[in-house]
Structure 1
Amino acid sequence: MPSKAAFYQQYGWELYAHQWVQTLSLEELRPLTDKTLHFGLLQSEDEWTKLAPIYEAYTEGLSGYAVRGEKEWRRLLGSFFAEGVRVAYVQTEDGRIEGYAVYRLGAEEIPVTEFVYTSRRGQKGLLNYLYNHRSQGSSIRWNEGMQDESYIFHPNGKTGHTTMPYMMSRIVDVATAMASVPVHIDAHWQNQPGVVDGKYTFTMGVKDSLATWNEGTYEVTIHADGHVEAVKTADEVKADVQVVSEVGALSLILMGRMTASELLFEGKVCGEKAVIAMLNRVYPKQKTYINEWW
């Protein structure tokens, strides 16, 4: 979470995740609610297993989110309960939970800091739960992933919808980062131009004025099983490299936040058209999300 993005951007950090911030009066929630689900309140850290499957379903197919095990859930819930933060969930009559919300009461605006669901009904059920707090507040502000498009159906779409820069990423070691992120290999891989014996190799220059060990020229090999090898061949960016990237831009490619072509347009990447196209193919754009506050 950047306090000031510009400060970090000059040192190779880039924003990989934004969030929607939705702000509506509680009265405006009424047409967005669903009354078919039942409500429940979490009472202790031991109930973390009620939330974990919902979070895992919500983050499936997303990139950049925090993996939460029992230790992380207990620490998170412990901090909520210590600060008087509440966790409500909505469930079907047979006990199947479809969403949960982390919120705080005590002010006119009710802040909801985590809003997670497995279905649109789950989202609407949570809004119905919050709608029922009209005697305890006048408005609600909730954050959720940018992948949510329910704003399209809001009765008043002109107000209450903003985006917030949320999390930045930074590559500490280029070779390790590229080896750690598997690429997308489809059934047509073997037939792609430049692929020889199941491998695609190109040269890449990385610019990094802060972490100088990253700066230089790399020979990058993409394998048919999805793993990538990046071997540094020079400590400077050679004039004949096929593609050049700022280290921050490379992190956005690996996170799936932006494609190589989009970063080419932004002036953060330059290079041969064929290599840019291959980077687009193996590092496609993804939906990014994280809700940890680091």
Structure 2
Amino acid sequence: MMIRKLEERDFLESIKLSMYAFQYTVPDAEIPKRKEMLKEHQILGIWEKEKLSAKLHILNLKIWLGDTQWDMGGIAGVATYPEYRRKGYVKILIQEALKEMKRSGQHFSFLHPFDISFYRHFGWEIISEYKKVTIPKNDLQFMEASSAGRVERFSKATHTEDLEAVYNRFAAGFSCMLVRDAQWWVDHVYGDLTAAVLYNGSGKPQGYLLYKIKDRVMDVKEFVSLDRETRIQLWNFICQHDSMIDQANFTLSVHDSFPYYLKQPKQRIEHTPYFMGRIVDARAVLKKYPFRETGKQVFLHVSDEYAGWNAGTYLLKDGEITYFEAREGSHCTHPPKKGLHLNINTLSSILLGNKRPMEVYEMGYIAGSKAEVLALEEKIPQAKSFFYDFF
């Protein structure tokens, strides 16, 4: 068994493994394009007798935490041929990927889990959830708009920077949103979707929809608005499709007030955990993180079984982070009484904005005094996590 990064000559083997494991087919005509896209990935592979038996992709991406960009390693394409499964190959690849991401200066790592409990074991935690709202045709009732606006439709072939501008302003109101450049929009966002951009009376883009209509169902994949009036006008645009559809589906942040403000807000809503994330380099993250200055200090005793460099004690003061290395393994031999004890999963969930310190404390994920938890609570900025993308 040998571990090495895949080179360009190995890309076809990577594509074949993905097709087998994820049960899809890439037409021969699209193979060159797939190979070109793989040049942007770091692919770690395990080889048995010169045959690729397992692999893992790292995507070099960035996320927003408020208005600040952070480096993120996206984990994707984790696959193993059946004859090589249950040999611990994925575990080996994950450990190598964490080392590689730390060397590359990536602060966080995100992934879409096939099994949440599996990746929790390796330090990832749920950092984004979404809700899917289903609205029947009879409840597509227009709302009164107080100003005039116009909608323009775009596609992958006619992509506009106005869409990017709205998304970036929207993303600044959340944590965890992906930083998208124009190429990401074209390669990974549009697919077969139509974009409808809402321009206000001054001609400024203020919101958009990404949607498709098939079999009399309108599937709204992204519903983004920067103010209440834009939200109403985008809703009215959807209602204009009432002769074409029997139902509209919406994918939204769990923090979105939709459908509360509709004339008929009683609708079917499904709430689903979505993406997972973890801290790759705790010292780098804690030094950069925008903690509030409260005049208080907090000790954090952090455990991390699969990225041992994160394990240890961190003293959080106003404008200062001090690290004390864990001397034996990833856990303290004699846990100190002062301070909060938590694992990397819980710390990741807090810093990325999905859970508050008191919330996870009450669930039993933090050990320590309530007073110290409240001190940490004061230091953590209010944030709402959300992630619209997929990889």
- 1:214 and 2:301 correspond: no
Does the 8 A contact of 2:314 with 2:321 survive in 1?
no
CA distance in 2 between counterparts of 1:222 and 1:67 reads 30
Q: How do 1:98-113 and structure 2 match up within 5 A?
A: 98-113=206-221
Q: How do 1:215-294 and structure 2 match up within 5 A?
A: 215=311, 217-224=312-319, 228-235=321-328, 236-237=331-332, 238-241=334-337, 242-294=339-391
Q: How do 1:1-294 and structure 2 match up within 5 A?
A: 1-32=112-143, 34=145, 36-43=148-155, 47-68=159-180, 72-79=181-188, 83-185=191-293, 189=294, 192=295, 195=296, 200=297, 202-215=298-311, 217-224=312-319, 228-235=321-328, 236-237=331-332, 238-241=334-337, 242-294=339-391
Does the 8 A contact of 1:45 with 1:74 survive in 2?
no
Does the 8 A contact of 1:48 with 1:74 survive in 2?
no
CA distance in 2 between counterparts of 1:209 and 1:43 reads 45
Does the 8 A contact of 1:257 with 1:285 survive in 2?
no
CA distance in 2 between counterparts of 1:157 and 1:43 reads 31
5+ residue gaps, structure 1: none
| Corresponding letter in the other structure for 2:355 | M
Give the fraction of aligned pairs with identical amino acids, expressed as a percent: 20
Does the 8 A contact of 2:149 with 2:199 survive in 1?
yes
| Corresponding letter in the other structure for 2:196 | A
Does the 8 A contact of 2:140 with 2:242 survive in 1?
no
CA distance in 2 between counterparts of 1:21 and 1:33 reads 24
Does the 8 A contact of 1:218 with 1:234 survive in 2?
no
Does the 8 A contact of 1:258 with 1:285 survive in 2?
no
CA distance in 2 between counterparts of 1:153 and 1:46 reads 33
Shift in Å, 1:44: 5.5
Shift in Å, 1:95: 1.5
In the superposition, relative to structure 1, how do residues 33 and 168 fare at CA in structure 2: closer, same or farther (>3 Å)? Answer: farther
Shift in Å, 1:274: 3.4
Shift in Å, 1:115: 1.3
In the superposition, relative to structure 1, how do residues 109 and 230 fare at CA in structure 2: closer, same or farther (>3 Å)? Answer: farther
The secondary structure found in structure 2 opposite 1:64 is strand
| Corresponding letter in the other structure for 1:293 | F
CA distance in 2 between counterparts of 1:152 and 1:106 reads 26
Does the 8 A contact of 2:292 with 2:318 survive in 1?
no
Does the 8 A contact of 1:55 with 1:116 survive in 2?
yes
In the superposition, relative to structure 1, how do residues 228 and 114 fare at CA in structure 2: closer, same or farther (>3 Å)? Answer: farther
CA distance in 2 between counterparts of 1:104 and 1:44 reads 13
Does the 8 A contact of 1:58 with 1:116 survive in 2?
yes
CA distance in 2 between counterparts of 1:121 and 1:89 reads 14
RMSD in angstroms over aligned alpha carbons?
A: 2.5
From the two aligned structures, give the one with the greater strand fraction.
2
CA distance in 1 between counterparts of 2:127 and 2:370 reads 24
Q: Deviations over 1:108-159 (max 9, x none)?
A: 2221111111112212212222222234321111112222213223333332
CA distance in 2 between counterparts of 1:106 and 1:158 reads 24
Question: 2:30 maps to which residue?
Answer: none
CA distance in 2 between counterparts of 1:165 and 1:108 reads 28
Aligned length: 275
Structure scoring higher RCO (CA < 8 A, sep ≥ 6) equals 1
Residues 283-292 or 260-269, more deviating: 283-292
5+ residue gaps, structure 2: 1-111
CA distance in 2 between counterparts of 1:27 and 1:228 reads 56
In the superposition, relative to structure 1, how do residues 37 and 167 fare at CA in structure 2: closer, same or farther (>3 Å)? Answer: same
Q: Deviations over 1:21-77 (max 9, x none)?
A: 121123312144748422111256674321122112222332121223xxx233313
